[in-house]
Amino acid sequence: MKRFGLVGMGMFVAATQLGSLVQAAETKTGETRAETKAGDKTTAQPLHAIPFQGSVVAVDLAGKTFTLNGKAKERKFKVDDHTEIMADNKPSTFSSIAVGMTVRGQALRHEDGWEAKKVTIGAKEPVPASETKK
């Protein structure tokens, strides 16, 4: 009985130290985590940018949002002062996004919608066949 108590205590100490190491490693790497509620449970999800591409079907200049068409449903993206907007490989502004244009970029998913981090106006240019076969 005494031996099990020591082994159990040793496992508890090891688990506690391992948890501290994992927490310290996450703090060192600077990962940003957001908490989302799933029923009564709260889980942590890493925030990372997700690529998008599509045709603009609506633009709200006052709200700084644009909406892209989608297979299942339309998606609305919010733009802020930190969003990088590019057109013809040059910095651009939100006002240059118009209905009918093709845009692509990266965005973060939040509970209240999508936050665009980078927006490039225009479709991705195809790579010439001669460069792909090298």
Query: Would you say residue 33 has pLDDT above 50?
Result: no
Cα 34 from chain centre: 11
Domains (range + CATH), the chain: 2-46 (no CATH), 50-121 (2.40.50.320)
Phi, psi of 50 (to 5 degrees): -115, 130
Structure tokens that stand for 26 in this block:
């996450």
pLDDT digits (tens, 9 = 90+) for 65-112: 999 998 888 999 999 999 999 999 899 999 999 999 999 999 999 988
Give CA–CA dist 74/110, Å, rounded. Answer: 16
Alpha-carbon gap, residue 87 to 71, rounded angstroms? 25
CB 104 within 8 A of CB 123: yes
**DSSP structure class, residue 25:** H
Alpha helices in the chain (DSSP H): 2-29, 129-132
User: Whole-model pTM above 0.85?
Assistant: no
Task: Return the amino acid letter for 64.
Answer: K
**Span 6-29, average pLDDT:** 51
